[in-house]
Amino acid sequence: MVTGPTSGIGRAYALRLASLGYDLVLVARDQQRLDALSDELSRRFDTRSQVLRADLAEAADRDRVAARLGEGVEFLVNNAGFGLSGEFWTVDPVQLQAQLDVNVTAVLHLTRAALPPMIAAAKGSVVNVASVAGLVPGRGSTYSASKAYVVSLCEGLAGGLAGTGVRVQALCPGFVHTEFHDRAGIEKSSIPKRMWLDVEQVVAGSLRDLDADRVVSVPGAQYKVLTTVAGMIPRSLQVRMNRAMFNARNRT
Ligand SMILES: NC(=O)c1ccc[n+]([C@@H]2O[C@H](COP(=O)([O-])OP(=O)(O)OC[C@H]3O[C@@H](n4cnc5c(N)ncnc54)[C@H](OP(=O)(O)O)[C@@H]3O)[C@@H](O)[C@H]2O)c1
């Protein structure tokens, strides 16, 4: 199962898994794009896909997706997620709650639903898409907080799952060319070219790290360096440096 496969990282993950022979369950809101992807996967890779239209900000939809996971899947990619622009104190609280529900609640419930059949089968993989923003304090507040939750959840779970045959990963990309920034209304022109990754690079890095049993996957040499160096600096200093170096306004 891949959530959010209608564009960006999720679409690349779905294509890659189909190319490896997996039949897929595709979960997102855009029915047309879901159907088009399902057709493309069957044409290109001869795989069968189940389309589950769901808004993961809605509890009833999350429950339907969780029920499907309870029947068992081999591989779950909790990828659906979004950012917001605007100041925390001016953004509509309904939007803030929806972001928390998609970026965190859905990841929590769907991971919880997927694990029992995987553990029973002694085999399975859960990739939860977090972000470099979840590792290093940066611009923004609720987005980084939601991704820090995902990192922490996976790190904790990895310990508990040791020896079960089930792998869990927090995939932490930096800037990736997708629809993410346009959807969020985030200005991209100030981001240096060398900091951009493409979706295939992110998926390849994730799969390599799964094979290596690496729980936190940071694709791209530039981000490996950045997160390693940041990890050596005390958190309080990171926060102060971040305040001095970046304009943290207009991001949530
Ligand atoms: N792009 C980056 O720079 C970057 C960096 C680090 C981490 N990430 C993370 O990577 C993940 C994928 O983002 P992306 O960059 O590939 O962005 P994207 O191109 O905007 O794709 C987002 C996907 O999530 C789905 N989605 C969004 N809200 C949803 C909802 N309420 N219910 C169900 N599906 C929903 C969208 O499908 P529908 O619109 O069809 O529902 C779409 O398929 C996110 O978790 C994001 O936080 C992105």
pLDDT-derived band at 224 (thresholds 50, 70, 90) equals very high
Residue 223 bears catalytic tag: no
List, for residues 235-249, the tens digit of each pLDDT value.
Answer: 888 888 877 776 656
What does the pLDDT read at residue 43?
A: 98
Asked whether residue 139 carries a pLDDT value surpassing 90, the answer given is no
List, for residues 152-193, the tens digit of each pLDDT value.
Answer: 999 999 999 999 999 999 999 999 999 999 999 998 888 999
Contact call for residues 252 and 140 (beta carbons, < 8 A): yes
Predicted model pTM: 0.97
Q: How far apart are CA 41 and CA 49, in angstroms?
A: 8
What does the pLDDT read at residue 190?
A: 87
- CB of 56 sitting under 6 A from ligand 1: yes
- CB of 171 sitting under 6 A from ligand 1: no
Q: Which atom of ligand 1 is nearest to the CA of 61?
A: 32
- CB of 79 sitting under 6 A from ligand 1: yes
- CB of 137 sitting under 6 A from ligand 1: no
What mean pLDDT value characterizes the chain? 95
For the chain, give every domain's residue range: 2-245
The mean pLDDT of 38-58, rounded to a whole number, is 98
CA of 57 to the centre of ligand 1 (A): 13
What does the pLDDT read at residue 248?
A: 59
The mean pLDDT of 102-122, rounded to a whole number, is 98
Closest by Cα among 100, 175, 168 to 131? 175
Query: For domain 2-245, which CATH number applies: 3.40.50.720, 3.40.440.10, 3.30.70.20, 1.10.240.10?
Result: 3.40.50.720
Mutate which of 31, 53, 76, 82 for ligand 1 pocket (most atoms within 8 A of beta carbon) = 82
Q: Please write down the long-range contacts of 16-21, taking CB distance under 8 Å and 24 or more positions apart.
A: 16/200, 16/203, 16/204, 16/207, 17/75, 17/77, 18/44, 18/45, 18/47, 18/49, 19/44, 19/45, 21/45, 21/47
Catalytic-role residue among 13, 22, 143, 149: 143
What does the pLDDT read at residue 140?
A: 81
Phi, psi (rounded to 5 degrees) for 167? -110, 145
Q: Angle, to 10 degrees, between the axis of helix 8-19 and the axis of helix 31-45? A: 30
List, for residues 73-96, the tens digit of each pLDDT value.
Answer: 999 999 999 999 999 999 999 999
The mean pLDDT of 217-229, rounded to a whole number, is 96
Q: How far apart are CA 67 and CA 54, in angstroms?
A: 12
140 compared with 12, residue with greater pLDDT: 12
Asked whether residue 125 carries a pLDDT value surpassing 80, the answer given is yes
- CB of 55 sitting under 6 A from ligand 1: yes
CA of 47 to the centre of ligand 1 (A): 23
What does the pLDDT read at residue 251?
A: 75
